[in-house]
Amino acid sequence: MSEHNHTEKDSGNGGASRRNFIGAVAAAGGLAAIAPGIHLVQVSQANTPPRPAGEAASKAVRWGMLIDTTKCASGCTDCVKACATENGITETVKDARQASQWIRKIDIKEVKTGRTHSLPMLCQHCAHPPCVDVCPTGASMKRADGIVLVDRHICIGCRYCMLACPYKARSFVHQPLTEQNPEVPRGQGCVESCTFCVHRVDKGQIPACVETCTKEGHNAMLFGDLNDPNSEISRRVAQVTTTQVRADLKLDLGVRYQGI
């Protein structure tokens, strides 16, 4: 459905659009043949069409993520690995404290009861992000669809956003980088964090971590449009009790947790 709309919009571009169309059909055919599961997941979770190039992100959409901690196993790092592969976070850093972590697994244990949970922690894509408020140059920004990003061209590397983030979701790149993913520019001396795989979302795909979690059968992560009452994430958020981490700050998070 979404691919069909995309082709219609591109139909005036002559040969280029024909090539795009053929490419899209071939890709869709290939995906359908080799990984039908992935395709179905994408359709069910990202039920908003891809954003055509040149069209601004819409505030009618609020991308969000629901994490079911009852399905998230301690020790499982599939989401973390998928994020690293997708975003080219492959560099070796001598001191682990200087490494970038866009998503990490946290194990928590209730002191009084001993009850444990495991969960992925990432940028919470706040509606009122402190990182955006404090950024002196406006490099930290929130897109209309709720995705919080860093503009690598105007980040001066002051790290004030890292001081302001209540979730320790941001990392500073401490060394020169090579072999980056062209779709995910990163750079020494800049601050970075989870982008909700914005380059994929804009193509109508879901973030790599969610895709892998689902593909591996964990089904602990769900991605979608919180503004669409018919999306699976909206229905789930309406049905089950979810938690926003540090809800006392009233930042209206895009990431919700179930089971903690």
Which residues sit at the interface with another protein, rule CB under 8 A?
Answer: 93-101, 104-112, 121, 130, 132-139, 154-160, 162-168, 170-176, 188-191, 245-246, 249, 260
Query: Torsion-angle region of residue 240: left (phi > 0), alpha (psi -120 to 50) or beta?
Result: beta
Nearer to another protein, 165 or 201 (CB): 165
Chain position carrying tokens 């395709």: 39
CB of 200 to another protein, least distance (A): 23
Nearer to another protein, 92 or 230 (CB): 92
CB of 169 to another protein, least distance (A): 10
CB 101 within 8 A of CB 191: no
Nearer to another protein, 46 or 161 (CB): 161
- Neighbouring CB atoms inside 10 A of 223's CB total 29
CB of 68 to another protein, least distance (A): 17
Give the total residue count for the chain.
Answer: 260
Nearer to another protein, 21 or 160 (CB): 160
Nearer to another protein, 155 or 201 (CB): 155
- Among candidate residues 52, 46, 97, the one with its CA nearest the CA of residue 211: 46
Name the CA dihedral angle for 147, 6, 230, 228, rounded to a multiple of 10 degrees. 30
Those residues with Cβ within 8 angstroms of residue 166's Cβ, 6 or more apart along the chain or in another chain = 130, 245, 246, 249, 251
CB of 99 to another protein, least distance (A): 7
Tokens of 162: 């890292």
CB 237 within 8 A of CB 112: no
Nearer to another protein, 34 or 96 (CB): 96
- Neighbouring CB atoms inside 10 A of 38's CB total 17
Nearer to another protein, 176 or 229 (CB): 176
Q: Both ends of the chain: CA-CA distance in Å?
A: 37
Tokens of 109: 């244990």
CB of 98 to another protein, least distance (A): 5
CB of 228 to another protein, least distance (A): 29
CB of 177 to another protein, least distance (A): 9
Give me the sign of the Cα torsion angle 10, 54, 171, 76: negative
